[in-house]
Structures are given as C-alpha cells and as structure tokens.
C-alpha cells in the first residue's frame, strides 16, 4: 500500500536535516582520513616503536671479563658462570609454602623475601645474585610463575689470600674496585654488545632480529708475578710475622735486570673469594701504600754519595771513636761503640756516627740529589692504584741535625717498593730501573744515578754486611754471595719516637757477583723479644732468595764447601 494513500505512514523530513547529516558524515570521514595521514606520515616512527615494545626487546650481550695470569700463564683471576634469581612481578604468584621453600633454598630470611616481593615493588627484582648453577636449578624446580634465572659471571681467584693484595677484586657486577682489577679494568672488562629479539606473550625469545652491537671481549692480562715465587715469599713472611708476633709484614721480590716485580705479599691479608668478613685494613697493599722511616737501609745511599764526591774510598778512615757525635742539643750514638772505622766497616757495622760524619761533610744538595735520583720522594709508578710517593724535603730547609739523621734514614718516609727499587742502583752499572707489575717482553733502560765503579764498590761493601761481624749474617744463602743492608728504626708515635716500637727491615741482593734478585722485607712492630732487622727480616730474605734462586736456576757464585752457615753466626745489633 502506497504511503500516499496512508498519510500517517508517510515521513517527510526537512531538507536541512538531511543536508546536516550528510555534512557530518563527510566531515567525520575527512577527519579520519586526515588523522590517518597524520599518524602514518608524522607519527610513523613513534607508532612503530610503540608497537615494537609489545613484542621486540633489546637484550644486552655481556662481554666476558679477561683473565689475569702470572708470567707463565697460570690463571690468577678467572670469571666463572653463575645464575642470579629474578622475579617478574607482573607474572608472579606464590603460595606460603613455596615462599618458605624459596627462602630456604636462597639462604634468606622469609621476612626478607616477603619484603622484596611486597606489593609496592614493580617490574623486576632480584632475590639473590651469583648462585651456583646447581643451587639455581633447585630454585627453578619449585616451578613458581614469574621466577627466572639470569646468567652472569663471578670473579674467582685460585691463589686466594696469597695474591689478594696484588689482584684486588671486582664488585658484584664485575667492575674492578681494587688492585690490578681496577688498574687494568679497561682492558679486562671489554665492552658489552646488544641484540634485538622477538618475544612471545610468555616472554620467550622466538626469533633473533638483528645484532645491534657485537660485544668486545675482555683481554687477558699477564702479570710479572711468578706464582711459585709468590707462594715462597708469602709463606716465609707469614711465618716470620707469626714467630715474632708482629703487627704486620711486607715483602717485595724484584728482577733487577728487567725491573719486573716477581712477588709481592703482605700480612695480614684477606680472601677475595669470601668477603663476608671483609676488613678494609687487611686489604691495604702495605708494600705500596704504607710509608715508614727506612732507618739504616738508607745508609748505602749516603755512602754512595760520599764515594761519588771523590773525597772517600771504601778504605777511608772515619772518626767514630767513642760512638757518639754531639750536634747542638742532640747526640748521635752507635749501638756498639768502637774505634775509628773505614767506610766499609761503617756500612758493615751500621755506624750511625760514621754515616752522619760523611753526610755532614757533603753539601746538602748532593745528598738530596742522590736520594731523589734513587727514586725517593716520587711515586714508583709500577701500575698500581694508590701508590705512595713518600716524603723527601727540600734540602734548603735542612738543619745540620736533620742532614745527619737523614743520612741514616730518619726524617724521610718511603714505601717498601720505593726502597726495593732504589737498590737496583747497586745491581748493575749504577742505573735506577723502572718497575712494573706487568710482564715485560722487551728490555728497558735504566736512569744513570752513580758510576759503574761506585755500584761495584757498594756491592762489595754490602757483602760484608752478611758476613761475620756484620749486621745480617742470617741473610746468607748456601752457594751464593749475598749483599744487603739491615734497618731497625724506632717508629714515630704522636710525634715522638717510641722506645719499644720498631720497623725492622732488610734489603738483599743475590748473587752479589751479578745480582739477579732483590728482596726487600719489612716486619712491622715485632714483639716477641727480637727486633733487629738482622734478626727478624734477614732470615726471611735468606729463605726467599734460596728458594727463588733455585726456581730460576741461577748458577751459584760461591763454592758450597766455603759457605758459612748462617745459624752459627751472631748478628751485630743496630738501632736508630
């Protein structure tokens, strides 16, 4: 039926309404088109990035930290694989029973686990890092939704506390924080890379898209340290510190020909593999960062300056009768008063008076030049962070008494490494050798300090120190000539020299005919009755030299039947 016959069924709309609806539709579609063009043209990259976030991830590709080895390739620091337990909180679901099991497996308090997994936390949290793979596998066996493992690496030190002061350690993220680990961190750490992957809804990698940056693996570092010699040095030093009930001890072993540090040990020490009871004071590399007054071990440099002046020879007689030298309000004394001595005897018997008389006969600048040229007052630069430079004052400020006491090691501060390095001057042709903790493959040149004639004369006189009548007969080694010097210095306490606290030291060279090794030993505050350097430090050097010379197959330079036994000869005491 037609609407015309039924008017009530017909609907007549105003024309303007039809046009209005049409215009609205046109404007709507136009707006959508413009918006689409804008999004695809102007916001294209942002929208793609937002979309990629739903399925694409950029994962870091860690770089493996390089290994530290000794000079023969023995591993000293290696990175081992470990797992860290993390939780994706948006997927996490756990029962009370599982929570207790989880805490037990991780060795954590249940309250600590609950705190880490509280509703206030967001994203990803790590419950415990650096677990052994087998322990991590037991955690995953709980099958708790949201828990995952992340493979990492942990630094391990096979030598433990024997070499800890040299190597230092890394933090939990394998960044070097002490020792060689810090000094060589740039070479050891390498550079991490990254790759883009596609993940599914469960977070599983389903496809590798591209490698953004390839990782640069860390490089290995070979040290100058000889692990066999290191064990010998550490063992002998530890025994001496225990025997003499000392506060601490340090030892340095140098190759005098190459300037390489073959061993370096300190006691007390620490185990870098277990730092649960870590004490900063035990981690200090005393041989490089601690300073002390060297005492009589400095006398050879005063005597070398005297020989270089041309006014003295080893046979020149020095007025030491009575064993006392008044200087203003002070009196310099010898421990054992004797008659006049030759320069050789002054060194052999460690006469303070004889050394002071020679020093006072020289211009102060000449003595300062000898000490400064021998490396005192400057950082030795062996490649270790925090090396101390010691204190050597300007000679213009020296008073007469200061010049006298400086000649036998008072009023100057040095590190044991500085002292050991200075003795390289007497080993060859009078040159000061640059030291290093890294293995050297090419020979290096030293800096001339004294003439070859003076260096030879000093070696001859230093041999007398280890013979009967000297201060260090216990430094002798069967089959080898040993040259050296002892030191027994009172320690400064609150600005005054303590009468019962000593820094007892010895520096030895062997074989004296052509020195290959230098061993410097410091025993800090021995308290078991003996305190002379010849009693507590020289025997350590003797034992280390005997073992090291055998390990290095250095030919003897003394017929064994003619070698006196160190144990039957008493040392001449000294004290400054």
Q: What is the pLDDT of residues 100-157, one digit of tens each?
A: 777 777 777 777 777 777 666 666 677 777 777 777 778 777 777 777 777 778 899 9
* 298-312, 324-338, 561-575: least confident range: 561-575
How far is residue 73's CA from residue 351's CA, in Å, rounded to a whole number? 46
C-alpha dihedral over 141, 143, 145, 149, to 10 degrees? 10
- HSE, side-chain direction, 13 A CA sphere, residue 80: 13
Mean pLDDT of 308-323: 93
Give CB contacts under 8 A, 24+ apart, made by 233-239. 233/263, 233/264, 233/265, 233/519, 233/544, 234/162, 234/163, 234/263, 234/265, 234/267, 234/269, 236/540, 236/543, 236/544, 237/265, 237/266, 237/267, 237/521, 237/540, 238/267
Mean pLDDT of the chain: 86
How far is residue 244's CA from residue 247's CA, in Å, rounded to a whole number? 9
Contact partners, residue 575, CB within 8 Å, separation at least 6: 335, 488, 490, 532
pLDDT of 208 higher than 50: yes
E-state strands within 201-337: 205-213, 221-222, 248-255, 261-267, 317-318, 324-327, 330-333
* 29-33, 143-147, 550-554: least confident range: 143-147
The confidence score (pLDDT) of residue 470 equals 93
The confidence score (pLDDT) of residue 575 equals 63
CA–centroid distance for 160 within its chain: 14
The confidence score (pLDDT) of residue 6 equals 59
DSSP string, 487-501: EEEEEEETTEEEEEE
Instruction: Render pLDDT for 39-65 as a digit per residue (tens, 0 to 9).
Output: 677 766 666 666 666 555 665 667 789
Angle between helices 96-106 and 133-140 (to 10 degrees): 180
pLDDT of 568 higher than 50: no
Residue 480, strand partner residues: 477
CATH code matching the domain that covers 227-568, chosen among 3.40.710.10, 3.40.50.300, 2.40.240.20, 2.30.180.10: 3.40.710.10
Residue 292 is classified by DSSP as B
pLDDT of 236 higher than 50: yes
pLDDT of 203 higher than 60: no
Q: Which helix (H) or strand (E) holds 197?
A: strand 193-199
The confidence score (pLDDT) of residue 85 equals 78
Residue 563 is classified by DSSP as P
pLDDT of 574 higher than 80: no
* 139-148, 343-352, 517-526: least confident range: 139-148
Helix, strand, coil in percent for the chain, rounding step 5: 35, 25, 40
Beta-carbon count within 10 A of 178 CB: 22
pLDDT of 17 higher than 80: no
The highest-level CATH class for domain 59-222 is alpha beta
Residue 142 is classified by DSSP as T
Instruction: Render pLDDT for 368-386 as a digit per residue (tens, 0 to 9).
Output: 999 999 999 999 999 999 9
Q: What are the two backbone dihedrals, phi and then psi, of residue 147, each rounded to the nearest 5 degrees? A: -85, 135
Buried b (16+ CB within 10 A) or exposed e, 546-562: bbbbeeeebeeebeeee
Residue 252, strand partner residues: 264, 520
User: Residue 512's closest CA among 446, 425, 427?
Assistant: 427
How far is residue 518's CA from residue 287's CA, in Å, rounded to a whole number? 14
Cα separation values, 561 from 335, 464, 568, Å: 33, 19, 15
Token pair, residue 66, equals 């390089």
Cβ atoms 505, 533 nearer than 8 A? yes
The confidence score (pLDDT) of residue 122 equals 63
User: Residue 103's closest CA among 94, 113, 92?
Assistant: 113
Q: What residue spans define the domains of the chain?
A: 59-222, 227-568
Cβ atoms 181, 195 nearer than 8 A? no
Contact partners, residue 428, CB within 8 Å, separation at least 6: 256, 257, 446, 452, 455, 515
pLDDT of 30 higher than 90: no
User: Residue 144's closest CA among 180, 103, 173, 204?
Assistant: 103
DSSP string, 440-508: P-S----EE-S-HHHHHHHHHHHHHHTSTTSS-GGG-BTTB--EEEEEEEEEEETTEEEEEEEEEEEEE
How far is residue 352's CA from residue 555's CA, in Å, rounded to a whole number? 36
Q: What is the pTM of this model?
A: 0.84
Please provide the size of the chain in residues: 576
pLDDT of 7 higher than 90: no
- Residues classed as catalytic: 296
Token pair, residue 172, equals 């939990």
């Amino acid at each position: 039926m037609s609407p015309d016959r039924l008017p009530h069924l017909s609907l007549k709309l105003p024309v303007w309404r039809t046009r209005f609806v049409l215009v609205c539709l046109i404007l709507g579609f136009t707006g959508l088109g413009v918006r689409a063009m804008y999004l695809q043209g102007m916001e294209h990259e942002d929208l793609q990035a937002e979309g990629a976030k739903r399925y694409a991830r950029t994962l870091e590709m860690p770089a493996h930290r390089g290994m530290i080895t000794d000079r023969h390739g023995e591993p000293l620091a290696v990175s081992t694989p470990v797992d860290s337990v993390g939780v994706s909180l948006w997927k996490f679901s756990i029962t009370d029973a599982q929570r207790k099991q989880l805490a037990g497996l991780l060795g954590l308090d249940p309250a600590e686990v609950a705190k880490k997994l509280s509703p206030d936390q967001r994203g990803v949290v790590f419950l415990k890092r650096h677990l052994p793979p087998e322990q991590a596998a037991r955690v995953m066996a709980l099958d708790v939704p949201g828990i995952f493992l992340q493979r990492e690496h942990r630094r391990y030190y096979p030598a433990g506390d024997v070499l800890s002061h040299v190597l230092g350690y890394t933090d939990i993220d394998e960044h070097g924080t002490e020792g060689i680990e810090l000094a060589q961190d740039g070479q050891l750490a390498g550079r991490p890379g990254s790759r883009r992957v596609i993940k599914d809804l469960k977070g599983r990698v389903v496809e590798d898209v591209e490698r953004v940056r390839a990782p640069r693996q860390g490089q290995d570092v070979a040290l100058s340290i000889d692990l066999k010699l290191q064990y010998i040095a550490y063992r002998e030093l530890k025994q001496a510190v225990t025997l003499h009930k000392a506060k601490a001890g340090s030892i340095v072993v140098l190759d005098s020909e190459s300037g390489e540090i073959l061993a370096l040990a300190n006691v007390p020490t620490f185990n870098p593999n277990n730092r649960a009871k870590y004490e900063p004071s035990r981690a200090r590399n005393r041989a490089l960062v601690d300073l002390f007054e060297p005492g009589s071990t400095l006398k050879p440099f005063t005597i070398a300056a005297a020989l270089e002046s041309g006014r003295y020879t080893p046979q020149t007689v020095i007025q030491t009768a009575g064993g006392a030298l008044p200087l203003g309000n002070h009196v310099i004394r010898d421990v054992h008063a004797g008659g006049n001595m030759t320069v050789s005897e002054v060194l052999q018997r460690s006469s303070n008076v004889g050394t002071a008389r020679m020093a006072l006969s020289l211009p102060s600048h000449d003595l300062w030049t000898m000490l400064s040229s021998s490396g005192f007052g400057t950082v030795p630069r062996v490649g270790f962070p925090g090396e101390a430079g010691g204190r050597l004052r300007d000679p213009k400020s020296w008073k007469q008494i200061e010049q006298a006491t400086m000649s036998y090691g008072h009023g100057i501060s040095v590190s044991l490494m500085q002292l050991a390095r200075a003795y390289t001057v007497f080993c060859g042709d009078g040159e000061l050798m640059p030291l290093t903790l890294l293995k050297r493959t090419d020979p290096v040149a030293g800096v001339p300090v004294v003439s070859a004639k003076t260096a030879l004369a000093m070696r001859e006189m230093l041999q007398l120190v280890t013979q009967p009548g000297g201060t260090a007969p216990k430094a002798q080694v069967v089959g080898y000539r040993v040259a050296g010097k002892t030191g027994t210095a009172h320690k400064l306490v609150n600005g005054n020299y303590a009468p019962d606290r000593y820094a007892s030291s010895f520096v030895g060279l062997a074989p004296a005919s052509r020195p290959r090794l230098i061993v410097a030993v410091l025993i800090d505050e021995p308290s078991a009755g003996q305190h002379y350097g010849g009693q507590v430090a020289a025997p350590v050097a003797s034992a280390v030299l005997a073992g090291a010379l055998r390990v290095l197959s250095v030919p003897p330079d003394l017929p064994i039947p003619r070698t006196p036994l160190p144990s039957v000869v008493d040392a001449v005491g000294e004290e400054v």
